[in-house]
Amino acid sequence: MTLIEKPSQLPVAIGEALKRAFPLLRVGNHQDFQGASDRTGVLITVERNGPDVRSFEGRKAHALAVSLRVTVASGATAFDACDLASQLMDLALDNRWGLPPDQCDLPTAIVAAPTVLTGNETDYDSWTVSFTQNLYFGPSLLEDPTGTPLFACTWEVSDIDDPDQYRPLQE
């Protein structure tokens, strides 16, 4: 498995997983749908990226809010987009998209709803599945130690900030 180094690896991994699950469906980001007359497919978007609590291994955490916008062809039967959104929710429920489990949590707060256009207008040919997924970047700090553990008792040293006054921990 690939080490996760940046947030963009999540939408790429999601796209690859969706293409495997739905080979006949167009899957991509906003650039893939730009200028296309047929917008049928799944548009992958990262809505937000914010910090979260570090992993137990010391990796920095990012909470990414992801949206999968499902659009069916106009003239499709009623609730086709709803059905496809439901399938995407089921797929996302327990999916790390092929990313390492120690660097990628399962999605949380999964919800699907019809896409709201402008004002109060709702587009039932387009649904959005949204969820939050935490990623943990870089190597584990446990595998990248900063040196030999040292200790000192404050009452035995004259300068607690002087590393020469510390000694190795005995095992």
- Choose the most confident range, by mean pLDDT, from 23-27, 151-155, 159-163: 23-27
Q: Which residues does residue 168 pair with via DSSP β-bridges, in sequence order? A: 150
- The pLDDT tens digits of the residues spanning 79-93 come to 899 999 999 999 999
User: What CA–CA distance (Å, rounded) separates 69 from 128?
Assistant: 4
- The H or E element that residue 7 is part of is none
Give the predicted TM-score (pTM) of the model.
0.78
Question: Which residue has better confidence, 46 or 33?
Answer: 46
- In the chain, the DSSP E strands lie at 27-28, 41-52, 60-71, 108-116, 122-137, 150-151, 167-168
- The pLDDT tens digits of the residues spanning 10-20 come to 999 999 999 99
Question: Which residue has better confidence, 86 or 157?
Answer: 86
- The pLDDT tens digits of the residues spanning 84-130 come to 999 999 999 999 999 999 999 999 999 999 987 766 666 678 899 99
* Secondary-structure percent of the chain, ordered helix, strand, coil, rounded to 5: 20, 35, 45
* H helix intervals, 22-95: 30-33, 80-93
8 Å CB contact between 17 and 11: no
Q: Is 78 helix (H, G, I), strand (E, B) or coil?
A: coil
Q: Which residues does residue 126 pair with via DSSP β-bridges, in sequence order? A: 71
Is pLDDT at 140 greater than 90 in this prediction? no
The pLDDT of residue 34: 79
- Go through the domains of the chain in sequence order and give each one's CATH number: 9-139 (3.30.2000.10)
